[in-house]
């Protein structure tokens, strides 16, 4: 078992969980009136745009869960296929770089995303 891939997978899942939980608590909680999906417009953003932002927010978390699950499954292989591990590492590194650049390093998510990439590359 490749412990670095297990660690990368678990970190990816944790980043997704934190992303969804904090998004709900810090952003979307204020944008709903007794509904699951946010339904309060915040000018200049319309309600339909708030709804798609919410869905996309959680979609990013779901994709993080999927990548984490794939990495954990790959960890059980004697030789994990590089054509699967490397694109995950690359996409996590690029996502981390994008978040770091866009927020001037203030958003902590970049560190988790980059951590997944580094663990994959070291595996």
Q: How confident is the model at residue 1 (pLDDT cuts 50, 70, 90)?
A: confident
User: Under 8 Å CB-to-CB from 65, ≥6 apart: which residues?
Assistant: 12, 13, 16
Per residue in 37-64, pLDDT tens?
999 999 999 999 999 999 999 999 999 9
**CA gap 49, 21 in Å, rounded:** 20
Question: Over pLDDT 90: what percentage of the chain?
Answer: 98
Mean pLDDT on 6-27: 97
Q: Would you list the domain boundaries of the chain?
A: 3-122
pLDDT at position 46: 95
Helix (H, G, I), strand (E, B) or coil at 41: coil
Instruction: Record the pTM.
Output: 0.94
Residue 118 CA: distances (Å) to CA of 42, 44, 45, 96, 105: 38, 39, 37, 11, 18
């Amino acid at each position: 078992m490749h412990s670095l891939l297990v660690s990368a997978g678990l970190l990816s899942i944790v980043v997704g969980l934190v992303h969804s939980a904090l998004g709900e608590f810090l952003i979307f909680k204020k944008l709903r009136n007794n509904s699951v999906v946010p339904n309060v417009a915040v000018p200049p953003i319309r309600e339909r745009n708030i709804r798609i932002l919410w869905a996309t927010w959680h979609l990013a978390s779901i994709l993080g869960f999927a990548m984490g699950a794939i990495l954990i499954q790959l960890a059980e292989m004697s030789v994990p296929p590089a054509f699967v591990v490397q694109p995950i590492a690359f996409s996590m590194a690029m996502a981390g770089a994008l978040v770091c650049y866009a927020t001037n390093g203030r958003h902590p998510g970049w560190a988790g995303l980059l951590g997944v990439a580094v663990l994959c590359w070291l595996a």
